[in-house]
Structure 1
Amino acid sequence: MDLLRQHIETIIDQSSASWGIVIHRPATGQKLEINPVQAFPAASMIKVPIMVEIMRQTAAGIISLDDSLAVTSQVRVGGAGVLTELRPDLTMTVRELVTLMIIISDNTATNLLIDLAGMPAINAAITNLGLNSTSLKRRMMDFAAAQAGEENTTSAADMAALFELIRAKACLPPVYCDLMLDLLSRQQVRDKLPFYLPEEFKLAHKTGTLPGVEHDGGILFFPAGPCVVTVLAGNLAANYQGLQWIAQIGKVIYDYFSLTKLPKGE
């Protein structure tokens, strides 16, 4: 994938940002990596391993997706999501909270799920999955903790590995992997990797955003087979630039694997 690397490097060389990129085609073993193990602030990418641990506990019978949790005023936080705008006496099922956490990145839903699963259990799952650069150290919107150095982290290699485990149904029983893939495919934040792609093109992905940070990663389903992609950007001078660069990377990947605009030579 030398030509694809050249096109991606042309995009990222426009900036002084830090980049972590992994592109992997499981069927062929082809892999393109740029700073794969560099740790970045995870932003909302951390919600994927949180989802995996919720599903693991469900599979183990510890919790049920039909359990209900109260969305009290004490647990509501700002940032992404809608729960802060809804009625004060709201209750939601675990399934509904996981859905909101993934498809619109709701921070209140995420914190409820962190409390439900337990931060130690989530970090144990992360370790057991072999995600060496990933750690959950704080709840969403806890900026005091972040400023004190308690920042959630991940790497492009870790997220690509996790997406591949979900895709291959290798981390949990297939029914739960299928559910996670369905949630990721219903992602409503589409301003990065899929921005320039055809509306009908299928992908399952999760984004992340913090000041100076823009991420996107998941599985792109090409006719010739899936492609696992993770693009992490940090130290951005302006977030809107990161959005556009990742969108351009998404288009280059799409062109390389599905169109004739880029030759397929290695």
Structure 2
Amino acid sequence: MDWDKEIHVLATKFAPFIESGIYIHDGTQKLASRNEEELFPATSIIKLPIYLYYYEQAIQGNLDLMHKIKVSKTGRANGSGVLHILTSIEEWSIEELLQLMIAVSDNEATNRLIYYAGLESIQTWIKTKKWGKRIALRRYLMDYESGLVNEISPRGALEILKEIIELGNKHPTVKDQIEKPFLLQQFRTGLPGYLDERAIPNLEMLNKTGEDNGIRHDVGLFRYKDQTVFIAALNKDVKEEAKAIEWMEELGKLVFEFLTEETD
């Protein structure tokens, strides 16, 4: 597949509707990119480094994922997720909050996890990473009054997801646990949108979306037989949401076509 040509065609087609950034990697080398280092408003993609932080700490023995965290009934962050609805339950394990943060993109779960670890502690940890300059965690979710914006680049987003998957591969006893919320992701209208795992044997798609006004992101891993492709697709200044979704679906279809070519 001529990735540069395909990416250029899509960029031209959708340029009137979105500003985009792409980074595509097969686990060994870069396949294609566009604006890979540009920082975009992160929206819920910022949940990826928080997820990695907690699993690293747990594997290192620094925390217990079964530990219960108190979540007050009042003042819960709204937006995506379920905790602002399930207010009768006030204690959740760290593991449950992590699963909710990814599978249903729960904002309150994310804020509880940031608060429990400490915003500054996570920020300091981010600086130790090779992708540290490609991400900026500055505030809690839904804290628009702060005037701060969390940011991430396409390359940074992909590198974080890749490190999450690699962590599971290095520690097989928690591999399924780490990957579970990505495989059970509730938001599949982006990169996986044209594909149906139930109808395509040997295909697995793991992804995490992010969205806000004028912003639509998706970061994912496609596995087919023994081949893998990671892809980060970020966009902003979205003028038509349907076009942004179509752009991501087209990218996901290209990834699957590439995987099937490689395995034929």
Report the TM-score, using the length of structure 1 for normalisation.
Answer: 0.88
Of residues 152, 155, 159, the one that matches 2:153 is 155
1:193 and 1:168 mapped to 2: Cα distance? 21
Q: Is 1:205 aligned to 2:207, yes or no?
A: yes
The structure-2 alpha-carbon separation of the partners of 1:159 and 1:5, relative to structure 1 and needing over 3 Å to count, comes to same
Shift of 1:127: 1.7
CA distance in 2, matches of 1:49, 1:225: 25
> How far does the alpha carbon of each residue in 1:125-170 deviate from its partner, in whole angstroms, 9 at most, with x for none?
222222212011111111112xx2x100101111111222222338
Is 1:47 the counterpart of 2:68? The answer is no
Shift of 1:117: 1.2
CA distance 1:125–1:90, shift in 2 (3 Å): same
Alpha-carbon deviation of 1:19?
1.3
Instruction: Tell me by how many angstroms 1:173 deviates.
Output: 4.7
Relative to structure 1, the CA distance from residue 74 to residue 172 in structure 2 (aligned partners, 3 Å threshold; closer, same or farther) is farther
Matched, 1:257 2:264: no
Look up the SS of the partner of 2:252 in the other structure.
Answer: helix
The structure 2 residue matched to 1:221, chosen from 220, 223, 227, is 223
One-letter amino acid matched to 2:7: I
Aligned residue type for 1:97 = L
- Aligned CA distance change for structure 1 residues 96 and 209 (closer, same or farther; 3 Å): same
- Is it true that 1:118 corresponds to 2:118 in the alignment? yes
- 2:121 is equivalent to residue 105 of structure 1: no
For 2:197, what is the secondary structure of its paired residue?
A: coil
> Which residue is 1:83 aligned to?
83
> Does the residue aligned with 2:6 lie in a helix, a strand or coil?
helix
CA change 1:170–1:33 in 2 (3 A) is farther
Deviates more, 1:85-94 or 1:214-223: 85-94
Q: Percent identity?
A: 27
Aligned length: 256
Q: Which residue of 2 aligns with 1:143?
A: 144
> Which residue of structure 2 aligns with residue 181 of structure 1?
179
Q: 1-side partners of 2:106 and 2:166: how far apart?
A: 26
How far the C-alpha of 1:198 sits from its partner, in A, is 2.3
5+ residue gaps, structure 1, are none
Alignment match, 1:239: 241
Alignment match, 1:5:
4
C-alpha deviation, 1:205, in angstroms: 1.4
CA distance in 2 between counterparts of 1:159 and 1:24 reads 12
CA-based RMSD: 2.2
Question: SS state of the match for residue 44, structure 2?
Answer: helix
Instruction: Please list the CA deviations of residues 21-73 of structure 1 after superposition, one character each: whole Å capped at 9, or x if unmatched.
Output: 1111125x252111110000011011010011112222333321111112213
Report the CA distance between 1:177 and its aligned residue. Answer: 5.3
- Whether the aligned pair in 1 keeps the contact of 2:168 and 2:179 (CA below 8 Å) is no
Amino acid at match of 2:167: K
What displacement does 1:189 show?
0.8
CA contact (8 A) 1:71 1:88 kept: no
Query: What's the TM-score once normalised by structure 2's chain length?
Result: 0.89
Listed as ranges, the gaps of 5+ residues in structure 2 are none
